[in-house]
Structure 1
Amino acid sequence: MLFRVDPASAVPLGDQIAACVRGALADGSAAPGERLPAARELADSLGVNVHTVLRGYQRLREEGLIELRRGRGAVIVPAAAVPDRARLVERVREVVAEARELGMTEDEVLTLVRTSLSAT
């Protein structure tokens, strides 16, 4: 799995790291059960702080894409739907970014989502 970050980007580095993993899951270059690089090792290779990597990994854990275990590190959850979930998370992030560009409030976005959910 290839990790790249752009320090000049407005996107926080931790989010960029999480996006690398989501992208790898979505395109099949990473698979459920695969172990991610140790946070310290990845931080050294990217030239970022270890806490930056941990923030990215924590975001992935909150999204249900990886498990973090002491002594075992970060592992992609062993679930068949992980690639689909990763693609969905990316699309949701794109929608949220577009909504922010349009000046929508969080409540307006949530109302749109709830309306869409109830329509199906």
Structure 2
Amino acid sequence: MLFRVDHASPVPLGDQIAASVRGALADGTVGAGERLPAARAVAESLGVNVHTVLRGYQRLKEEGLIELRRGRGAVVTGDASAGRVRLTERVGQLVAEARSLGLTDDEVVAMVRTGLASG
């Protein structure tokens, strides 16, 4: 699996690492049940702190895309379908755009609820 980060980017490195994994899930390079590389190995290959990689992995766990298991590492869940990954990316884009427009969390949630009710 290929991880890429841009140290000059304003996007936090942990988020870039999570995005690399999402991309691999979306294109089928990585599938359900597969283990991700150890955080230490990823950190060494990218020249970043291991905690940076762990932050990226934690984000993926919060999204339901991986499980973090002591002794087994990071394992892709069965819920990590390509469609779910793409939807997660689009939600991230929605949140970023809403923040740039100055919308509150409540306003964004209300907009989503309206969209769900009408769709």
Question: Please, what TM-score do these two structures have when normalized by structure 2?
Answer: 0.94
**AA in 2 matched with 1:82:** S
The Cα of 1:83 is off from its aligned counterpart by 1.6
For 2:114 and 2:23, how far apart are their aligned partners in 1?
28
Task: Report the secondary structure of 1:68's partner residue.
Answer: strand
Name 1:113's counterpart in structure 2.
112
For 2:100 and 2:38, how far apart are their aligned partners in 1?
35
Name 1:12's counterpart in structure 2.
12
The count of residues paired between Structure 1 and Structure 2 equals: 119
Encode CA deviations 1:50-92: one digit per residue, 9 max, x unaligned: 000001001101110001101100011134x522111110011
**AA in 1 matched with 2:63:** E
The Cα of 1:104 is off from its aligned counterpart by 1.6
Could you list the structure 1 runs, at least 4 aligned residues long, displaced by more than 4 angstroms after superposition. Answer: none
Gaps of 5+ in 1: none
**AA in 2 matched with 1:27:** D
Question: Please, what TM-score do these two structures have when normalized by structure 1?
Answer: 0.93
Name 2:83's counterpart in structure 1.
84
- CA RMSD across the alignment: 1.2
Gaps of 5+ in 2: none
For 1:10 and 1:63, how far apart are their aligned partners in 2?
22
Percent of aligned positions that are identical: 72
Q: Which moved more, 1:83-92 or 1:97-106?
A: 97-106
